[in-house]
Amino acid sequence: MGRQPKQDKDQLDNFVEEWRTKRKISRQELADLVGVHYQTMSYIERGEYAPTLALTLRLAAALDCKVEQLFKLKVSI
């Protein structure tokens, strides 16, 4: 039997797009500010890519908010 892909049990609510829109920053501008490709920002906003801790901290700094305002766990710990 083949190896099964790992499934992430911790699903996140993602508010990056809302904060970006609130700050009136384009996806490209935010990508430039945090040092990633604009397509990566699209993946993050759609929840298709989980950013590293360092990138998450850069996003929070660029959007002038707390990490907890950008991402929240959907499941209780």
For the stretch 4-13, pLDDT in tens is 344 555 678 8
Task: Give the end-to-end CA distance of the chain in Å, rounded to a whole number.
Answer: 32
Q: What is the DSSP string of 29-58?
A: HHHHHHTS-HHHHHHHHTTSSPPPHHHHHH
> Rounded CA gap, 67 and 56, in Å?
7
Token representation of residue 69? 């305002």
On whether the 12-69 domain is CATH 1.10.3720.10, my answer is no
What is the spatial distance between Cα 12 and Cα 72, in angstroms, rounded to a whole number?
A: 5
Query: pLDDT tens for residues 12-66?
Result: 889 999 999 999 999 999 999 999 999 999 999 998 999 999 999 999 999 999 9
Domain boundaries, the chain: 12-69
